[in-house]
Amino acid sequence: MKYPRLFGLHARPGPYLHWVLVALPFAFMICAYLISSHKMLAENPNAKLLPSVAKMAEATARLATEPDPRTGQYPFWQDTVSSLQRLGMGIVSAAIVGLLLGINMAMFPGLNSLARAFVTFLSIIPPLAVLPVLFIVFGVDETAKVILIFVGSVFVITRDIFLATLALPKEQVTKALSLGASQLGVVYRVILPQVMPRLFNTTRLTLGAAWLFLIAAEAIASTEGLGYRIYLMRRYMAMDVILPYVCWITLIGYTLDLGLRLWVGWRYPWYTK
């Protein structure tokens, strides 16, 4: 008896059909866009809503290869670099602080009593609601944007690492002590290496939120950055810039996610058994 190819719990699509299915929704989206765009442009060649692929390529190439006459920089690359810098600084600092805070809260009952309720409380404050406060306190330059990303990510990471640490068997702590580990040795040489892969995974998931905060902060107060450009171009309804930028952000996000996933698989082979 054969397995069904497509339908039901027991379906086994096979390698060929698998990749066809993977490509299908993408192909559908692209086709739908091209057809709609073509129709709309046939009616009105100046329509801005769904620009042609050629138009988008032209606009992107202009931003990527022609320096801005005022600053001498290439806007597309400058936007990318400054956005990634903000995102990187915010998420890396959040990951480090979240890791240390989460682990120590889970391991030391005293710190747990002190910090747990407070961290939970802080994590519920909507970060975007305090964005104006950040701008007032830290000014409108880089600091406030990085801090927004940090604040938006750090508590989620802390709580996830906290739970992951609690889920490790208590026997491991006793075992390490019985092998002569010091208390700090248990925390930083036994427990920490075991939650590292979890840290990368939770950072992957948090990146989605981090992009949101980045773009929100750039939209409000900035002079360059991917989010800034998108919101600037909105005023001119320049969909030929906005759509490629959205695709570019998506591509960067996907690459980061894939990179982190491959890193975890390569560096921590024991984690994904």
Q: How far is the CB of 107 from other proteins (least distance, A)?
A: 14
Residue pair 227/218 in contact (Cβ under 8 Å)? The answer is yes
Q: How far is the CB of 15 from other proteins (least distance, A)?
A: 27
Pick from 95, 111, 90, 85: nearest CA to 183:
111
Q: How far is the CB of 271 from other proteins (least distance, A)?
A: 8
- Measured from the CB atom, the residue of 88 and 185 that comes closer to other proteins is 185
- Measured from the CB atom, the residue of 38 and 189 that comes closer to other proteins is 189
Q: How far is the CB of 270 from other proteins (least distance, A)?
A: 4
- Measured from the CB atom, the residue of 47 and 177 that comes closer to other proteins is 177
Q: Give the binding site for other proteins (CB under 8 A).
A: 169-172, 174-182, 185, 189-190, 193-194, 268-271, 273
- Measured from the CB atom, the residue of 111 and 181 that comes closer to other proteins is 181
Q: How far is the CB of 247 from other proteins (least distance, A)?
A: 38
- Measured from the CB atom, the residue of 191 and 217 that comes closer to other proteins is 191
